[in-house]
Each structure stands twice: as structure tokens, then as C-alpha cells.
Chains A and B, each alone.
Chain A
Amino acid sequence: MPTDGYRKPLPVPSPETRRFWEGCRKHELWLPYCRACGQFYFYPRDFCPRCFGWDIEWRQASGRGKIYTFAIQYRAWHPGWAEETPYITALVELEEGPRLFTNIVGIEADPRKVRCDMPVEVAWDDVSAEISLPKFRPVG
């Protein structure tokens, strides 16, 4: 549990996901990759959900992608976000294919400014000693 005043839920890495979070801590986005399918997938499992094959490896992703869709949170359910509304939740589609649920940062939470398919890049948020969350900001 966080002791540094961070009041939001933190991810709890599992043996299957630890490699992902280790990369994040170094501000590197590493994704599982299926050698049989020749494709990335996310979230991490020890196998490929597409072919159920177990011949997988980890590869570093570019950190670039686009906003598949977004929503502006005017209300928060968890008190940790109560002081931060409005903020942006989104699905970002990475260049490598997988989509991640994330936040869009570095832009006003205004639907006239954010748009679907807008190019974004990863922006790291160091929320605890162990966890850095990959968030995304508009490019350029």
C-alpha cells in the first residue's frame, strides 16, 4: 500500500505482469509478443490469447499511438480523484496494435480539444516507488 500520500488504487503486479511494470518503472513500455502469431497483445498473460500458444517474448514498444476513444470524467467514484475532475479516461491504440485503458494528460479536458484518432505518446506518471503508470499526451 502507498505510504507517500498517493490516494488512488495502485496496480498489484502478478508473476504474469511483473515484467510489464518493471519496464514502466524504467519509463519503457514493454509488451508481450507471440512468436507464432507475430503479433503483440495486451494485457500480459503467459500465453497468447489469440492462438493459445505459449511461445511468447517481451518486446519494447515505441510508446506512440492514437486515441481510439476518450471520455471526460466530470465525476469521480473513488475519492482519490475527487479534486481532479474533469480528467480524461481513454483507450489508446498503440502503433504495435494493442489498446490500453489510460489517461490523456497534457491537454485540457475539453471535448473540443481532444479528438478520436489524435496521435499521442506515452507520458510516465511515477505514482509510487514501484509503480509508474503509462499515461499519454498529444504529440507536437
Chain B
Amino acid sequence: MTLKRSAAITGIGEMRPSRSPDGKSTLGIWTEVAREAILDAGLTTPEIDGLLVAPPITEQAAMWPSILGEYLNIHPGYGNVVDLGGASACGMVWRAAAAIQSGLCRAVLCVTGEASDVETFYAPRAPRARRPVQQLPYREFEVPYGPMGVNSGYALIAMRHMHEHGTTGRQLAKIAVDQRTNACANPDALYYGKQITVDDVLASPLVVDPLHLLEIVRPCTGGAAIVVVAPDLAGAAPRAPVWLLGAAEASRGIMLSQFDTITTSPIAICAPRALEMAGVAHGDIDLISVYDCYTITVLITLEDAGFCPKGKGGPFVEEHDLTYAGDLPLNTHGGQLSFGQPGLAGGMSHVTEAVRQLQGRAGKRQVRDCELAFVNGNGGIMSEQVSLVLGT
């Protein structure tokens, strides 16, 4: 069983991230990016027969596919919420392909996006009064000790990685700097035109030691959508289709205390499977487009996906130029660290950027002869992982 060339991405839509919603609703953002993606794919709404939606982080409701489907007047034969945190977008790609391969549908619209605010997202917040709270293990055994959301979890991982492998803050900062260089070639990036240095990163405030402000993702407003279609529709698409060549998923739960090790992630399981399905080797990959909620996420992803030996991520990122013009182009749109993280659309930005690069429409930051991309989505605290290989 393989998903290789079972479906292709033929359309993308992405909103330029902004620091605040400015009156926009999540539903309005979804509509904007959905329209753009459907038009990009050369389709019309009646042709969309599959709908995957990632739940907004800051809004609670049930039946999102029904809400969005009604709003857009799309009535799919296959609809689902994909709730894998930051891995949701990559999870949508292979779920769409699997549904297409099984004959459930032929054109799947995958939608992500969020109206949230850069300034207030991390502000201290009082628990909402009288809201009934489910008895979940992390609420009972972690929250009473004052973690600052997932910031604490990634800091705990980074500290242990430094302890086991001698990884330095300077090495981690290099990732943020190279991605910022990429963002400075992307006018849509939230931090376009604001180059930073390693010293800037290390001089930025420690939020949760060892994580500095400039190596922590900034939630913002934005959205992204893609259209995944069956091979026959891909052949008729206005743009060169971007094929799914390999996909695999691996999960290990949600609480760090439950993992045998926190310095190796399930990427070590799913990345090799995705590469094997695609039949490609690391050296064949032209673009690495991987989830980057923190610098440590990227470093561990490079190790666990096999781009360098375990524990050698620090020297590896120092030795390579991760910019669009470099020898190892990585997160050429700036990554979430510099492009912005509009909720779960942050994870979609790695997919849309891979599509742009593979279609040769990345503008100033175009990677030369880009034919194969490794894409990874990461959810929770490096717990939920989806690896994809996309190609022309």
C-alpha cells in the first residue's frame, strides 16, 4: 500500500499574516484562503467534494466542517476535523490523498487559519469563571506547577538536549537568524525587513530559560488553504501539480513525562517511512520545510529525520547555510518564527511554501532547480508528527 502519486496539490491560498485580527473573523479568514486555493486549482465550489478543517485554537465550537461547508455552500461527501495540533496541516494532505485513493472524493479542500493577536496571546490570563473543566491528566499533574503553555515543554527538551549533546544557545540562534534572512526575501512575512543576528537572539529576553524571545514563535492572524485532487484532475490543473510522493505519521501522546526520551521525537519513526515511500534519499531533497515553533524543534527535526546524526544538530546547522541561497535551504518563507504562526495555518505554511518552491513561483527566494521537498508537521510537544515528501 502506498500513497505515492495518489493525489496532488494543485491550488494554494494564503493570507498575509498580521499582528492583530483587525476585525477579521476566523470564518472570514477561512473563506478568503479557501476561495484563493479553489481558484488557484482552477476549480469551482461544486467540484469540491471533500472538506478538511483544522480547529481554531482560540475558538470553541463543534462541527467545523458543517459550519464552513454551509458558509461556502460546499456539501462534501467526506468531511473531517483534523486535530493534530501543528501537525494538522500535513496530516490533512495524506488524509485527503487516502480518501481520494479510496474513491470517497476527488477534490479535497483543506483549510486552516486563525484570528489571534500577537500582543495578547501570551498575556497572563485568568481562568474563565465557572467553565466546567474536564479532568485531564495534564490539568491534574502539570498545570498546578505553573508551566507557560508549551513554551515550558520545549524549554525542557532544549535543556536536556544541551545536557546530553552539548548543544549551545548560539547554535540554536543560528536557525532563527537564517530563517529571518529568508523572511527578509518574503514581503508577506510578519518580520519582513527586520534582519537579526545571533547576538540579537541571545540578547532577547529569556522567556523560559533556555528559550529566548526571538526563538519562540509569535501567534498572529492569518490562514492558509490547499486543494488536493485526484490524478486525473491534477492533469487538467492550470499549474504544475505538486505530487504527494511519501507520507507517514507517528504519535506518542501529549505529556513529556510519559516519553522514554524527550530528545528524540517520533519523527525518527515517520520521516524514514515517508522517504522510503517516496523512494528518495536525503541527498535528493532540495527544500526542507519543517515545523518551527521553536529553534530546538528544527534542530531535533533535522536529527530525527536523518539529515545529520543524532546529537549533531548543533554543529550541523552551524556548518550549513539554511537560507534560500544556501546549501541546505530550510523554511525559505521564514518559517513560523519569522513568517508568523496564524494558529494551525502556521503548520500549513510549510506545505504552501513547498508548493510555491516546487512550482517555481517563490519569487526572490526561489530555490534553484527545486524538485523535491521534505515537509514535516509537528504537534503538541514534539509528540504528534507527520512527514511528507512532495515533488513535481
Q: Which residues of A are at the interface with B, using a C-beta cutoff of 8 A?
A: 8-14, 17, 42-43, 68-82, 84, 86-87, 89-91, 98-103, 111, 115-117, 127, 131, 133, 135
The main secondary structure of chain A at its interface with chain B is loop
Contacts of A72 in B (CB 8 A): 155, 206, 208-209
Contacts of B156 in A (CB 8 A): 69-71, 89-91
Interchain CB contact under 8 A, A12 and B135: yes
Interchain CB contact under 8 A, A14 and B135: yes
- Within 8 Å by CB of A80, from B146, B149, B157, B257, lies B146
Contacts of A87 in B (CB 8 A): 146
A3 to B159, CA, bound (A): 37
Give the Cβ gap from B229 to chain A, nearest Cβ, in Å: 41
A6 to B373, CA, bound (A): 51
Asked if B22 lies at the interface with its beta carbon under 8 angstroms from chain A, I say no
Interchain CB contact under 8 A, B144 and A8: yes
Give the Cβ gap from B219 to chain A, nearest Cβ, in Å: 13
Give the Cβ gap from A82 to chain B, nearest Cβ, in Å: 6
Contacts of A102 in B (CB 8 A): 145
Contacts of A73 in B (CB 8 A): 146-148, 152, 208
Residue of B nearest to A74 (CB): B206
Q: Which 5 A-B pairs have the closest CB atoms?
A: A71-B155, A72-B209, A69-B160, A116-B163, A11-B140
Residue of A nearest to B125 (CB): A77
Q: Which residues of B are at the interface with A, using a C-beta cutoff of 8 A?
A: 122, 124-127, 133, 135, 137, 139-149, 152, 155-157, 159-160, 163, 205-211, 255-257, 262
Interchain CB contact under 8 A, A70 and B159: yes
A9 to B163, CA, bound (A): 31
Interchain CB contact under 8 A, B159 and A69: yes
- Within 8 Å by CB of B127, from A9, A14, A91, lies A9
Give the Cβ gap from A25 to chain B, nearest Cβ, in Å: 14
Give the Cβ gap from A24 to chain B, nearest Cβ, in Å: 11
Contacts of A42 in B (CB 8 A): 257
Interchain CB contact under 8 A, B122 and A77: yes
Interchain CB contact under 8 A, B124 and A89: no
- Within 8 Å by CB of A75, from B127, B144, B208, lies B208
Give the Cβ gap from B258 to chain A, nearest Cβ, in Å: 8
A8 to B144, CA, bound (A): 7
Interchain CB contact under 8 A, A133 and B145: yes
Give the Cβ gap from B150 to chain A, nearest Cβ, in Å: 10
Contacts of B137 in A (CB 8 A): 43
- Within 8 Å by CB of A69, from B140, B143, B146, B157, lies B157
Interchain CB contact under 8 A, B146 and A71: no
Give the Cβ gap from A48 to chain B, nearest Cβ, in Å: 13
A43 to B135, CA, bound (A): 13
Interchain CB contact under 8 A, A91 and B256: yes
A43 to B253, CA, bound (A): 13
Contacts of A76 in B (CB 8 A): 124, 146, 148
Give the Cβ gap from B327 to chain A, nearest Cβ, in Å: 33
Interchain CB contact under 8 A, A71 and B145: no
Give the Cβ gap from A46 to chain B, nearest Cβ, in Å: 13
Residue of B nearest to A13 (CB): B140
- Within 8 Å by CB of B148, from A11, A75, A135, lies A75
